[in-house]
Every structure is written in structure tokens, then in C-alpha cells.
């Protein structure tokens, strides 16, 4: 029997839009199953958005697919799920309110576009009609790109870690409209997911108070740790720093490096803290432990030996088998780690790795008119690591080259038993370089990996800083040019000086903000100022700092369910540096570089709060410890400021013996009108600027300038402008590190500032 259906005008419009999406193929979209009546008119708008985005690969081959509200998103991760039958919504206050109004729970999924297990769960569950019906009939489904909303991600990742002992993506949670976690886990199979959805829905119908009580208990695991340090005695900084260092050293893997564990992340914040410690003192045991990690990561599979750059983490304790995604923040931070390591160890292989990592990021992630994209996928043609692996036959000739070896991958069926490339950097040769170039061409002939094209403000800030530092250390103008271009473009396009809003992505309509954007970008601006001495960069860093202190007013502010300005409550480092500590470090940097330093004096309560948290747990408080070192004893870096920024100097190693620096130049620069005493002042009562050390050294000072100033009748012997002090070890001290003390007091023709002592270890 022929059935005749009445077609409404809206329905006819939807059909016409579907048919017009592609002139070459009949592209058809369907409503998600169990779509509420009130949302059906929105489906027409989703269709219009799909039509506009037809050239986007996500929507160009969509025959027989569903369509949901994520079609409106600019996030590659959310767009990947726009054709799911699940009735996904982005994280917005209106949908939280809708859940509260309808007395529904929220099914929350957090991930990112280059995540292997996110892809797996999407393929197994979120593309499945049975799962979609189970979600859509009972829950409000919300999908979050962790890279767009880091404060939401950090909150639920902390809950996941508190509940299960570890955190990873995807994050799968059931929450109520207030954000309280009814259930939280990571990857779930289809069968487990359906069982979970049905059981929680049944309990919500019959005993919602039980679920809410359980949710409050789970939230309490992370909600009680950030109270102020009321009534506690002041903690001795030096004692805290020494005790914390020993706790961290005890937690390190003495065989392979890094924190003990079967899965290992680079923990860049840990390495930067330990390298800073090695700048300050001679600790042979610590030096050995740090070099073990640096060498194993450099020669292990966590580094891509063919194209350069680092994968996100290692699935084994030996740093051999990686999880294959590559994140922009890893490239920026690992480049900084190996740059710092080169300046501490003077191992040229570390310099090579830093340069290769930056060059990889420029080659594969940088677009001059946009900035640095956020990530490359772990999967290729649906298989984890497929882009990076070969068969044994493919590599037969290459494995005969000295220094080239392989590891065996064990994972996805399609690539189980395939081989990845390893090289020994100490045996690098022209033949090896040519072989790696050939393998790179073979790899890219297969196609290209999915690249997440979000340009994230904070991650670009990290890259700006690393490029600026590398440009000076390696005398590479290209790095500085790119850093200034990226920093300038983000400043112009994303910061609103009237409102103080710094947008996280290029899509300003989403009103996405995060403390880490302010902190990391302002740090990048400070790095540019240190290299260029262009005051515009310092002014911009100050503007971001002032805006951040207004937008994020409370140092102990708790994370909320709001997508707008909020702060992660934790001072601990995760894969990134704690945004709170990063902003505190920016404040300290501004104080050291700004003549009106009172405007940037750290709040003693904030400093004591940081010390309290670090004393409770040194592990994962690495950036806090580095900050406390700098706050108490001054910077140990190669660029130092004194006299509230009117003077600074760069420390440059001029001669090396093996991997020990035997001679340095201290390159001074004083602002016009300011001076310091020479090493042989003309008056006995004036303190000389002279190198003091228990180690015998050969010191060459510049010729002093004899000047008569307005407040002084007699002439003075001074250093001013730009000048150099050269320090060399004598022969019997060449292999030992030397500690020198450098007293400095800056004056102009009206005032003298307080004297300072700078300690340099080389």
C-alpha cells in the first residue's frame, strides 16, 4: 500500500538544503534520534551551517549521517562529532540551565581532536545508534574540547585522578546541572557505557538524593585543599627548598630517568626546575639523574627521529614506545628544556635536539598568517601510530647504518609488530642524516596526518618564549622573526585593551578565556623584551598581567562550571605549568624589570600559600619550587636584571673544555644616565664592582670611565652603557664549577639604589 505523508514547509526546506549540499552526490543528514520537539526547528539551522561548511572535509562526505549542534563549532574536535547520532551540545551555560530545568543529568565527554582513545570511543560508541538513543532519551549530551576550555578540563581531570588514581582522555562523566560528578571514568567500551547509562538513569528516577550525596562526596576529594593559610607559622624557604629537592630526587627513576612509573610523561616543569637547581649548585648525583632522563628521551621513541619533535608521552618506563600524538605545548616546552640543558651541560646533542624540535614545529605546525596550530593526530588511516611505522622489510637497508636501530610496536591489529625508528645521536653521521631524509619522504608520501588547526593563545605564548630564548642562544634570527610575528598578531587580534579580555582562539564569538592564556603569553612578551630590549613588549606583558589580576581576582578562586573566566584551584603542575604560578612568575619578572617595582611586589600571603602547598607535596609542585627559588635568591638564568631593571647582563660561555665551561663573558647593559662603580673606584670608601670567588680566576675588566657628576665635586671611576667583564678558570680549575659573587650598585646623578649581590655558577 502506498503511504502518503504530509510534508511541512520546514521539512521541505530541510530536504532541499540536504539535496543542495553537493552538486555531485546526494548528501543526506538526519536528525539525532529522540530529538526533543523544541529542538527540531534548530535542525534547519544545523543544515544551513553544514551547507556553508561543505568544503570542510568533515561535512563533504556525509551521506546517511546525522547532524547535531556541534556543526556550529569552530573546534576541529567538536566538528569531528557533529555527524554523530548523539545529540551533542557544546559546553554553554544555557545547556547546564536546561538540564536543571528539565531535571536531567548531563552526559559529559571531554577530549581533543588528536587523541587515539577519543577516536576509538567515537567510532565504537558515539557513532552507534543504540548508544545515541540511550543518551538522547535521558541525558543532555555535552562535548568539550579540552584545549578550548582548560579550566573545565582541569577540574574534571582532577576529579578523575582523585577517583581512579590516574587521569587520561577521553574523560567520560555523568554530572548534574550544577556540575557535580555522579560518575567519572575515562575510556569505556560500548557495552559498559550502555549499562552505565541505563543504571544511572534508573537510579536518578528512583533515588536522586543518593546520587547527589555521592557526587558531593566525590567533589569533596578536591574541594577542601585550597583554603588560605590562616594561622600557620611562616615556612622557612631555604629549608623547604632543600627538603623538597630531596623528596623529588628520591622519586626519580635512577635507571631510565623521570618520575617512577610504567607510563612516563616528559614532565617539562620537573626538568626546568631541576636544571635551575643545577645552575645554582654542584650536585653530581642530581646532574647524573637529569642527564639520564634527557639522554633516554633524546634517544628513545618519545622523540620522532625522522621528522623531529616529541610525542606526548611514552607508554613504557624506558621512553621507547610513544603515544603518537604531537602537541604544540610539548614542542615549545621540550625545546626550552633542551636549550636549558645545553647551557647547563654544554652537550652539543642537547643543542641539536632543541633546534630540531623548534624546526619541526615551524615546518609542521606554523602558518605565517595564523600562528602555530595545536596538534598532530596520533592516528593515521584509523590506526594508532600508522604514520610513523614500517615493516621489517621496509627498514632492512636502513638498519644496517651505524646508529640507526628500531623498536617493535605492539598495539592496533593493523600495525602490531611494525617497527619505529631510533637513532643514537652520538653516532650521527652524513649517511644517517640522508637515510632519515629518505624515510621522511617515504612517510609523507603516504599522506599527511590530521592537524588540529586551532591557534591557542597560551600555547603560542609558550612557543614565542622558546623561540625568543633560542634566537639569542643560537644566534638564529629566524626564530626571533617568527616569535615577534606570532606575538604581534595575537596581541592585535585577541586582546581587547578596553575590556581586558584575551581570547583563547580566533573565534571571539565563543567568549573563551583562560588564566593560562594571560600568563603564558605575557611570559612570551617578557622573553621578547629580554632579547630585543624593546619596551613595547614589556608594556604589553604588564597590560596582560594587570588584566589577568582583574579578570581572575582571587588567588584561591575555585573552579566553577562557568566556561568564562575561572582558575583551576590547584597550584600543581600537570602537563603544563600551573597557570597561577606562571602568573606569579610574571609578576616577579615585571618587578625585576620595572623601575617602579612596588607595583609588582608579590603578596606575602600568596607566597606563603605557595610554600604551604609545596610543603604538603613536593611532587607536581615543581614550578612552585622554581618560583620560590627565584623569589628568594634571584634568577639563576643567563639573563639577569638588577637595580629594578635599569641594568641587566647576559652570561655567555666563551670557551668549553669537554662539557665544562672554562670562560664566560658577562655582557652588561645600563640604561642611559645610570652607572655602577668600576672595579677600581677612585675613592676608598666606594665599593668596587669586582668578581669575588673562592676559586682562583683570571678576571679582565673593561677600562673605567672617569666622570664628574653633578652631586660629586671629585671625579669618579665608573662603568656605564654597554661593557663586558671576562672571567676564565685557571688550568687546575678547568674541570670544576666555580661560584662567583658579583656586587652591584646602580646610581645616576641624583640617587644611588640599594646594593645587590648576584651569584653566578659556571
Q: What is the pLDDT of residues 33-71, one digit of tens each?
A: 988 888 888 888 888 888 777 656 666 655 558 999 999
The whole-model pTM stands at 0.87
Alpha-helix runs per DSSP H in 406-505: 430-445, 457-473, 477-494
Pick the CATH number of 640-761 from 2.60.40.1250, 2.60.40.10, 3.40.30.10, 1.10.10.10: 2.60.40.1250
Q: What is the pLDDT of residues 669-723, one digit of tens each?
A: 999 999 999 999 998 888 899 999 999 999 999 999 998 876 667 889 999 999 9
- What pLDDT is attached to residue 511? 82
By percentage, how much of the chain surpasses pLDDT 90? 71
Which residue, 372, 348, 364, 371, is CA-closest to 304? 364
- What pLDDT is attached to residue 61? 59
- What pLDDT is attached to residue 162? 85
Check if CATH label 3.40.50.970 holds for domain 9-223.
no
Residue predicted with more confidence, 94 or 310: 310
- What pLDDT is attached to residue 48? 85
Sign of the Cα pseudo-torsion (636, 642, 646, 649, in order):
negative
Beta-strand pair 105-111/139-145: parallel
Q: What is the pLDDT of residues 493-546, one digit of tens each?
A: 999 999 999 999 998 888 888 999 999 999 999 999 999 999 999 999 999 999
Which residue, 85, 83, 136, 75, is CA-closest to 110? 75
- What pLDDT is attached to residue 20? 41
Question: Do residues 437 and 443 touch, judged by C-beta distance below 8 A?
Answer: no
Q: What is the pLDDT of residues 100-149, one digit of tens each?
A: 999 999 999 999 999 988 999 999 999 999 999 999 999 999 999 999 99
Q: How confident is the model at residue 555 (pLDDT cuts 50, 70, 90)?
A: low
Is 452 in a helix, a strand, or coil?
Answer: strand
The CA–CA distances, whole Å, from 353 to 97, 317, 432, 433 equal 49, 21, 15, 14
- How far apart are the C-alpha atoms of 154 and 31, rounded to whole Å? 33
Number of H helices, E strands in the chain: 22, 32
Cell 574541594 belongs to which residue? 223
Question: Do residues 93 and 563 touch, judged by C-beta distance below 8 A?
Answer: yes
Q: How confident is the model at residue 3 (pLDDT cuts 50, 70, 90)?
A: very low
Non-local CB neighbours of 732 within 8 Å, separated by 6+ positions: 696
Q: What is the pLDDT of residues 141-176, one digit of tens each?
A: 999 999 999 989 988 988 998 888 888 899 999 999
- What pLDDT is attached to residue 303? 98
Cell of 672: 642611559
Domain ranges of the chain: 9-223, 238-454, 486-529+536-636, 640-761
Checking if the pLDDT of 574 tops 70, the result is yes
Q: How confident is the model at residue 16 (pLDDT cuts 50, 70, 90)?
A: very low
- What pLDDT is attached to residue 6? 40
By percentage, how much of the chain surpasses pLDDT 70? 91
Residue 309 DSSP class:
-
Q: What is the pLDDT of residues 413-458, one digit of tens each?
A: 777 889 999 999 999 999 999 999 999 999 999 999 999 999 999 9
Q: What is the pLDDT of residues 216-260, one digit of tens each?
A: 988 887 765 444 444 456 789 999 999 999 999 999 999 999 999
Mean pLDDT of the chain: 89
Amino acid at each position: 500500500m502506498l503511504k502518503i505523508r504530509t510534508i511541512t514547509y520546514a521539512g521541505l526546506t530541510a530536504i532541499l538544503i540536504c539535496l543542495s549540499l553537493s552538486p555531485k552526490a546526494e548528501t543526506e543528514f538526519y536528525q539525532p534520534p529522540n530529538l526533543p520537539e523544541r529542538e527540531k526547528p534548530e535542525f534547519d539551522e544545523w543544515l544551513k551551517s553544514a551547507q556553508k561548511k561543505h568544503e570542510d572535509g568533515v561535512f563533504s562526505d556525509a551521506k546517511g549521517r546525522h547532524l547535531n549542534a556541534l556543526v556550529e563549532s569552530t573546534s576541529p574536535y567538536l566538528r569531528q562529532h557533529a555527524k554523530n547520532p548523539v545529540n551533542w551540545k557544546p559546553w554553554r551555560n544555557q545547556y547546564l540551565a536546561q538540564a536543571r530545568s528539565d531535571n536531567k543529568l548531563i552526559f559529559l565527554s571531554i577530549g581533543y581532536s588528536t587523541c587515539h582513545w577519543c577516536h576509538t570511543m567515537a567510532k565504537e560508541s558515539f557513532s552507534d545508534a543504540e548508544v545515541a538513543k540511550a543518551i538522547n532519551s535521558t541525558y543532555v549530551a555535552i562535548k568539550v574540547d579540552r584545549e578550548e576550555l582548560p579550566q573545565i578540563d582541569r577540574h574534571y581531570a582532577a576529579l578523575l585522578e582523585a577517583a581512579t588514581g590516574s587521569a587520561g582522555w577521553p574523560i567520560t562523566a555523568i554530572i548534574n546541572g550544577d556540575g557535580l560528578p555522579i560518575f567519572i571514568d575515562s575510556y569505556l567500551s560500548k557495552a559498559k557505557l550502555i549499562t552505565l547509562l541505563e543504571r544511572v538513569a534508573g537510579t536518578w528516577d528512583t533515588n536522586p538524593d543518593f546520587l547527589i550525596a555521592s557526587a558531593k562526596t566525590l567533589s569533596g576529594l578536591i574541594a577542601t585543599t585550597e583554603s588560605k593559610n590562616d594561622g600557620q607559622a611562616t615556612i622557612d624557604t631555604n629549608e623547604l627548598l632543600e627538603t623538597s629537592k630531596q623528596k623529588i630526587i628520591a622519586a626519580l627513576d635512577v635507571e631510565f630517568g623521570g618520575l617512577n612509573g610504567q607510563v612516563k610523561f616528559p614532565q617539562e616543569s620537573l626538568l626546568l626546575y631541576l636544571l635551575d637547581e643545577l645552575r645554582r649548585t654542584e650536585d653530581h648525583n642530581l646532574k647524573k639523574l637529569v642527564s639520564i632522563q634527557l639522554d633516554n628521551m633524546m634517544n628513545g621513541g618519545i622523540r620522532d627521529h625522522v621528522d623531529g619533535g616529541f610525542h606526548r608521552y611514552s607508554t613504557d618506563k624506558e621512553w621507547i614506545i610513544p603515544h603518537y600524538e604531537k602537541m604544540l605545548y610539548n614542542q615549545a616546552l621540550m625545546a626550552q628544556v633542551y636549550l636549558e640543558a645545553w647551557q647547563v651541560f654544554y652537550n652539543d646533542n642537547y643543542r641539536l635536539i632543541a633546534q630540531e624540535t623548534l624546526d619541526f614545529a615551524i615546518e609542521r605546525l606554523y602558518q605565517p598568517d595564523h600562528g602555530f596550530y595545536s596538534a598532530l593526530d596520533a592516528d593515521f588511516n584509523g590506526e594508532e601510530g600508522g604514520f610513523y611505522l614500517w615493516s621489517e622489510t621496509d627498514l632492512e637497508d636502513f638498519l644496517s647504518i651505524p646508529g640507526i636501530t628500531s623498536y617493535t610496536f605492539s598495539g592496533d591489529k593493523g600495525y602490531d609488530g611494525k617497527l619505529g625508528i631510533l637513532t643514537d645521536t652520538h653516532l650521527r653521521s652524513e649517511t644517517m642524516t640522508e637515510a632519515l631524509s629518505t624515510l621522511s619522504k617515504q612517510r609523507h608520501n603516504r599522506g599527511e596526518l590530521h592537524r588540529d588547526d586551532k591557534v591557542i593563545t597560551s600555547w603560542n605564548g609558550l612557543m614565542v618564549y622558546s623561540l625568543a630564548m633560542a634566537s639569542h642562544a643560537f644566534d638564529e634570527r629566524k626564530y626571533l622573526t617568527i616569535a615577534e610575528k606570532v606575538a604581534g598578531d595575537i596581541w592585535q587580534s585577541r586582546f581587547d585593551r578596553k575590556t581586558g579580555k584575551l581570547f583563547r582562539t580566533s573565534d571571539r564569538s565563543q567568549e573563551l578565556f583562560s588564566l593560562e592564556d594571560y600568563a603564558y603569553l605575557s611570559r612570551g612578551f617578557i622573553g621578547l623584551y629580554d632579547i630585543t630590549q624593546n619596551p613595547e613588549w614589556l608594556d604589553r606583558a604588564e597590560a596582560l598581567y594587570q588584566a589577568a589580576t582583574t579578570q581572575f581576582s582571587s588567588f584561591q578562586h575555585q573552579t566553577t562550571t562557568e566556561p568564562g573566566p575561572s582558575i583551576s584551584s590547584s597550584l600543581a603542575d600537570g602537563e603544563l605549568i600551573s597557570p597561577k604560578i606562571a602568573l606569579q612568575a610574571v609578576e616577579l619578572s615585571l618587578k625585576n624589570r620595572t623601575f617602579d617595582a612596588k607595583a609588582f611586589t608579590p603578596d606575602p600571603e600568596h607566597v606563603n600559600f605557595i610554600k604551604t602547598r609545596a610543603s604538603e607535596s613536593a611532587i607536581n609542585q615543581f614550578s612552585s619550587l622554581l618560583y620560590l627559588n627565584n623569589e628568594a635568591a634571584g634568577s639563576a638564568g643567563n639573563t639577569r636584571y638588577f637595580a629594578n631593571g635599569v641594568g641587566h647582563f647576559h652570561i655567555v660561555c666563551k670557551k668549553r673544555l669537554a662539557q665544562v665551561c672554562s670562560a664566560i663573558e658577562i655582557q652588561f647593559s645600563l640604561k642611559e644616565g645610570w652607572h655602577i662603580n668600576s672595579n677600581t673606584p677612585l675613592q676608598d670608601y666606594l665599593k668596587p664592582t669586582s668578581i669575588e670567588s673562592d676559586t682562583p680566576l683570571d678576571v679582565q675588566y673593561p677600562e673605567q670611565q672617569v666622570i664628574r657628576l653633578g652631586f660629586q665635586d671629585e671625579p669618579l671611576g665608573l662603568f656605564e652603557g654597554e661593557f663586558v667583564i671576562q672571567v676564565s678558570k685557571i688550568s687546575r680549575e678547568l674541570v670544576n664549577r666555580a661560584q662567583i659573587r658579583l656586587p652591584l650598585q646602580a646610581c645616576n646623578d641624583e640617587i644611588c639604589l640599594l646594593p645587590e649581590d648576584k651569584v653566578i655558577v659556571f
